[in-house]
Structure 1
Amino acid sequence: MVFRLDRPFDIDPAGQRVLDIEAMAQCVRDAAGALHAAGVRRGDRFAVYKDNHLDCLLLAAAGIRIGAVPVMLSGLLPTDPALALLRRTEPKLLVSNRRLLSREGNGGESLTSFAERTVSLDGGVPGATPFAELYGSADPAPDPRPDDELMMLTHTSGTTGVPKLIMYTPEKLQGQMARLECRHLPPITFRRNDTVAMFCPYVHARAFTWIYSVLTLAPTKVLVMSESDPQVVGPLFERHRPTVIEALPIDYARLEGLADDRRSRAFASVRMFVGNFDAVRWPIIRTFLNASRHRFPVWREGYGQSETGGMGMTFISRRTANRRRDELPGPRKVGRPMPGFTQLKVVDPKTFAPVPDGRPGLVLARTRARCVGYYGEPERWEEKVRGEWWNTGDIGIRSRTGSLRLLDREVNHVPGMSCLEQEDILVDRLPKGHDVALLTVPDGPPVPVVATPDGTLDEASWAGATRGLPALAKPVVIASDAMPRTGTGKIVREELRRRHLGETEPPGSGRWT
């Protein structure tokens, strides 16, 4: 098995683009030596806040190797939330790069304010130690943490403000979350002859469970993507035809034009597309499945949360994706819970009594993979825990056969409708490049915020898109780049609400966001 990188690691002075397992392991040992030389010791917290690449994960592995606790922060996280998380954790060391370290928060605070020491991977930052000065230091003996001790902190997406920091132990992350993916279950897991391409925020727990499955199932080739620029992705995929691709919705959206290009064979060999972090709109699913020349390509959509890992899974065929638009229910059917790993139930949001199948309610999950807490915010954790059950904050419907369909987040839910499904239908009917977020209000129809490439909306197109749907308020039209999103591409609905609805409160309680 070999790893091919779209660009060299920031922690590798040799600038390698092709690495085997031993070369990857050596990167971890070298990074462990550098961290140790910087003063990191067993039990210390150290923060990784750098440009996205798989070496974020390797830095975490290096720290874990010597018994330290990595605090993983996405390089796409804005400065002020990053400062808030650094303030909360007070790391011994901050590992970052010049681009991020040059920023200041709104209050003039520096990123280096809350760490005892800072290392700049590309140097050139006053007061920060260049990584090159530490590289080559002796690798200390491994000193891993026990299965029940804190191993790592990662953050949630932050759609409702400063992200939460999730606490993982080895038993939860390695022993439970990664366990299902490491089983040989063709065709939904890797085959030995697969070429796997991955787009991911590599600070996220998803990257850790994914790498376990890669190392266990050993596909022939792994294409490690740090970004989704079509000018980079196209040539690489033409040379090394991926058979399995996993990406965020925002990555698929950026690559949609490449998939639409019938001259390109970048996606011709793909047998399975995997969506992660959020549901993908129907037009994008259709475009990618049609770009594959495989006889029976599928789209695998997972349902899960950072706190629980995977909870459900569903598949979409090319035939389903190409059905008449009016027949499409929206890709919010998340399938059945994973047998032997997860149980799901639907309850009344006020009484928590179970509701009959076919009726909407709050989705609770029971899984042994549930993480152990929110760092520094135990009260937020306790609000979502009900004994062995985890409150997902989602409103859904369970069928008689046990499958689950999501309607909305509880904070945005209005009885009798599903904004998520309506959004899917609207986006499917509108021209390409349009996106929609419905903002619910307590005493009127939802307010649609429509993002278009040029900030204008054709009235006839909107009339056609809304035909036959429940009543909507007059749309608010914005340019696509004005749609507030998290680093993983999720729409920040609370920011939209603040901008366009002022003080109007959402209909839900918001207790479990």
Structure 2
Amino acid sequence: MHRKQLWKSNVGLLFDHRAELDNPMIFRLSHPLDIDPAGRTLLDIEELAQLVRRTSAALYAAGIRTGDRVAVFKNNHFDCLLLAAAACRIGAVPVMLSGLLPDEAVRALLRRVEPKLLVSDQQRLASEGNGASPLSALVEQTLCLDKEIPQALTLADLDGADEPPPAPRANDELMMLTHTSGTTGIPKLIMYTPDKLQGQMARLECRHLPPITYRRDDTVAVFLPYVHARSFTWIYSVLTLSPAKVLLMSDNDPEIVGPLFREHQPTVIEALPIDYDRMEELAEERRSNVFSSVRMFISNFDAVHWSRVRTFLNASRHRFPLWRDGYGQSETGGLGMTFITRRRANKRRDQEPGPRTVGRPMPTFVQIKVVDPRTFRPVPNGTPGLVFARTRARCIGYFGEPERWNEKAVGEWWNTGDIGIKTRTGKVKVLDREVNYTPGISCIELEDVLVDYLPKKHDVALLAVSDGPPVPVVAAPDGRLDQGQWRRAVRGLPELAEPIVIDIEDMPRTGTGKIRREELRRRYLGGAEGPGTGSWT
């Protein structure tokens, strides 16, 4: 296929094409990229395209060819995405692994994919968990980006190689592997083609739909796990809609975020719940002006507590700021979207708790139905059941694990593993993950209420059990919970067991900040089973 036909769905050619357009964009980085020898923090689109081409030449010089798998496992920064683009440009298949994955998971995934090259950094390559052999022993070659270590290539060894001609994969061929969150064990590896990832998942947000998509005068700040599929749909949308400036954040430390945001005044911010959590103290400083220009906050990956939504919307001085909350999965892309206004967020405490609305299915893109977990037959509106979705963006499988894929793919429908309801007006409300669902209770909603009424810097995970009320695990500063505050927080709520109190730093999380509930269950409940089957996690 001709290069001009491929750019729209292959990330390997995306930067080249965008650099050809006469529409400048500026990218400001929170710190320099590991693949940039010049150590710059300000780049334009042509300089990013040059970095992709230069890195693809280095990979080619290392012997990487069409179809070879290249594992990327490093600290989280935008160059993870650029490394993937460089591999895709020459037809290789990047395998994107979060730098926060535990050692056991990394080794299992490397054994599964048998990459020809591992691209990493000194911190991860030097780790030999439990006396195990180095990660380099699991791959043919290793490239260390930041330091010289034994038996590993460096970028300096490969620099200056001639740029190979682009040889991207066809639209229906495997282009990339990314992993699931791994909340219940070893993550799955999701298989994406160019058409699924860029052609389908990204297409809705690439439309000019103000105020809910980017405008040309926006300054966009983004905090993402740059190995995740979301970062690749995001880069397609941002390069299509061309906001004036993009702040590429790899650090949510308020000491870094504050000065940078005061200087550049973002108008749109996309971040993970854990990033908003870390930045909340900045939002509470009314005179800081850090978020005063923000017209839209975007959140994905997991539910953000209402108290946090309220804090950030109140920190904006925009006349009508919005919170855009996305619902979807790595295997399907976006399935629904909902918006929270400042007025709604501030009224939230006065309302009765209810299931969390995640929006309506995206028109013409997605269909959603709610079915009985045993028969998979549709249930009436308002009745809890498994949420099934049908979308052309659904990826093509789990690498090396077809049996796990077949457990969730039901014909053209996808079993999300969520328990929810569908209203007569078409809204979808999520109650819980099936594995943690207790009939008549929404643990997600109760966690929201509890966090709203507990002091700042507390988090709560409710573990459903089959023989009693849900067990709260409360993460508190210094591992201490004031019993009077707890009694006030639970007043009027359904019955809960006595709380298990842990230090906030001891809450087990995935690389995207999701709470690993099954790990909590193993640690504090002796592995006691929940009421759900856990068949579709």
TM-score, normalising length: structure 1: 0.99
Measure the CA separation in 2 of the matches of 1:349 and 1:458.
Answer: 40
1:166 to 190, 202, 205: 190
Q: Deviations over 1:77-133 (max 9, x none)?
A: 122211111010000000001011110133513111221000000122111111221
Secondary structure of the 1:417 match is: coil
Measure the CA separation in 2 of the matches of 1:68 and 1:419.
Answer: 43
In the other structure, the counterpart of 2:205 is 181
Does 2:446 correspond to 1:412? no
Q: Deviations over 1:188-226 (max 9, x none)?
A: 000000000000000001000000011100000000001
Alignment root-mean-square deviation, CA? 1.0
Is 1:330–1:425's contact at 8 Å kept on the other side of the alignment? no
Q: How does 1:91-240 map to 2 (within 5 A)?
A: 91-106=115-130, 108-240=132-264
Measure the CA separation in 2 of the matches of 1:70 and 1:503.
Answer: 36
In the other structure, the counterpart of 2:14 is none
Measure the CA separation in 2 of the matches of 1:244 and 1:134.
Answer: 38
Does 2:413 correspond to 1:389? yes
Q: Which runs of 5+ in 2 are unaligned?
A: 1-24
Is 1:325–1:429's contact at 8 Å kept on the other side of the alignment? no
In the other structure, the counterpart of 2:63 is 39
Is 2:355–2:431's contact at 8 Å kept on the other side of the alignment? no
Does 2:325 correspond to 1:301? yes
Measure the CA separation in 1 of the matches of 2:374 and 2:348.
Answer: 39
In the other structure, the counterpart of 2:510 is 486
1:23 to 47, 53, 78: 47
Deviation, structure 1 residue 328: 5.8
Measure the CA separation in 2 of the matches of 1:181 and 1:19.
Answer: 24
AA partner of residue 125 (structure 1): I
Q: Deviations over 1:314-368 (max 9, x none)?
A: 0011111111514164682101000011000000000011000001000000000
Secondary structure of the 2:389 match is: strand
AA partner of residue 461 (structure 1): Q
AA partner of residue 323 (structure 2): W
Query: Structure 1 residue runs of 4+, over 2 Å off?
Result: 328-332
AA partner of residue 136 (structure 1): G
Deviation, structure 1 residue 285: 0.7
In the other structure, the counterpart of 2:11 is none
Measure the CA separation in 1 of the matches of 2:318 and 2:61.
Answer: 50
Secondary structure of the 1:62 match is: helix
In the other structure, the counterpart of 2:349 is 325
- Percent same amino acid among aligned pairs? 70
Of 104-113 and 332-341, deviating more is 104-113
Deviation, structure 1 residue 232: 0.7
In the other structure, the counterpart of 2:12 is none
AA partner of residue 343 (structure 2): R
In the other structure, the counterpart of 1:254 is 278
In the other structure, the counterpart of 2:266 is 242
1:286 to 298, 310, 317: 310
Of 319-328 and 223-232, deviating more is 319-328
1:476 to 481, 486, 500: 500
Q: Deviations over 1:149-187 (max 9, x none)?
A: 100000011100111000000110111001111111111
Is 2:419–2:430's contact at 8 Å kept on the other side of the alignment? yes
Measure the CA separation in 1 of the matches of 2:350 and 2:466.
Answer: 28
AA partner of residue 437 (structure 1): A
AA partner of residue 378 (structure 2): P
Q: Deviations over 1:405-462 (max 9, x none)?
A: 0000001101111111111111111111111100111110000001111211111111
Is 1:150–1:168's contact at 8 Å kept on the other side of the alignment? yes
Is 1:308–1:367's contact at 8 Å kept on the other side of the alignment? yes
Is 1:280–1:331's contact at 8 Å kept on the other side of the alignment? no
Measure the CA separation in 2 of the matches of 1:328 and 1:217.
Answer: 39
- The total of aligned residue pairs comes to 513
Q: How does 1:2-81 map to 2 (within 5 A)?
A: 2-81=26-105
Is 1:147–1:169's contact at 8 Å kept on the other side of the alignment? yes
Measure the CA separation in 1 of the matches of 2:311 and 2:162.
Answer: 50
In the other structure, the counterpart of 1:509 is 533
Is 2:355–2:429's contact at 8 Å kept on the other side of the alignment? no
Measure the CA separation in 1 of the matches of 2:133 and 2:436.
Answer: 34
TM-score, normalising length: structure 2: 0.94
Is 2:112–2:400's contact at 8 Å kept on the other side of the alignment? yes
Measure the CA separation in 1 of the matches of 2:348 and 2:361.
Answer: 28
Does 2:268 correspond to 1:268? no
Measure the CA separation in 1 of the matches of 2:456 and 2:331.
Answer: 34
Measure the CA separation in 2 of the matches of 1:390 and 1:97.
Answer: 37
Q: Deviations over 1:478-502 (max 9, x none)?
A: 1100111111110000000001110
2:365 to 338, 341, 347: 341
Deviation, structure 1 residue 283: 1.3
Measure the CA separation in 2 of the matches of 1:313 and 1:271.
Answer: 17
Is 2:355–2:442's contact at 8 Å kept on the other side of the alignment? no
Measure the CA separation in 2 of the matches of 1:99 and 1:159.
Answer: 24
